[in-house]
């Protein structure tokens, strides 16, 4: 029996003995499941937003915010990018692990960036597995 590439799904060739057929189908189902799981892990991603409800003074850092990924989403630290929804704010990420990261913010302008419960500063982020 030959195997296709790159996912190693078994496929019988003419003359192959596939008796009992249920065993062959079982092997094929296992191979397909393994290929799907591997492909999903290789392209895993997550995205979200953080509503920051405090103001950030001119020339100051905001309070670091811990962000947690959905449980089991990543097996290694992904690449993470964050943006700030306010023109005065710079967003950065640090301490990236397979379980989450720290969102850092700063205001490098000469004016205060107002944030409040009713009008938070919104940070959007995305995390993806990146092939080397």
Q: Compute CA distances 94 → 22, 80, 108, 118, 121, whole Å.
A: 51, 9, 18, 27, 19
- Look at residue 99 and tell me whether its pLDDT is greater than 60: yes
Tokens of 10: 């078994």
Instruction: Give the whole-angstrom CA distance, residue 125 versus residue 42.
Output: 19
In this predicted model, what pLDDT tens digit does every residue of 70-95 receive, in sequence order?
A: 998 898 999 999 999 988 999 999 99
Hunting for tokens 């449980």 — which residue is that? Answer: 71
In percent, the amount of the chain with pLDDT more than 90 equals 50
Return the CA Rg of the chain: 24
pLDDT confidence bin for 21, thresholds 50/70/90:
low
Cα 74 to chain centroid distance, Å, stands at 7
Domains of the chain: 2-42 (no CATH), 45-128 (2.60.40.2080)
**Of the candidates 110, 95, 119, the residue with the CA atom closest to the CA atom of residue 57:** 110
106, pLDDT greater than 60? yes
| Overall average pLDDT of the 12-33 stretch | 70
Tell me the backbone φ, ψ of residue 75, rounded to 5 degrees. -105, -10
CB 114 within 8 A of CB 55: yes
């Amino acid at each position: 029996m030959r195997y296709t590439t790159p996912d190693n799904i078994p496929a019988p060739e003419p003359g192959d003995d596939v008796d009992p057929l249920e065993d062959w189908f079982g092997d094929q189902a296992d191979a397909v499941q393994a290929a799907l799981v591997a492909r999903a892990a290789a392209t895993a991603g997550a995205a979200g937003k953080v509503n920051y409800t405090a103001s950030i003074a001119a020339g100051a850092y905001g309070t670091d915010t811990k962000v947690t990924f959905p449980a089991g989403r990543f097996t290694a630290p992904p690449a993470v990018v964050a943006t700030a929804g306010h023109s005065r704010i710079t967003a950065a990420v640090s301490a990236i692990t397979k379980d989450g990261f720290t969102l850092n913010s700063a205001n490098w302008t000469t004016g205060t960036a107002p944030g409040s419960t009713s009008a938070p500063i919104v940070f959007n982020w995305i995390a993806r597995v990146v092939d080397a």
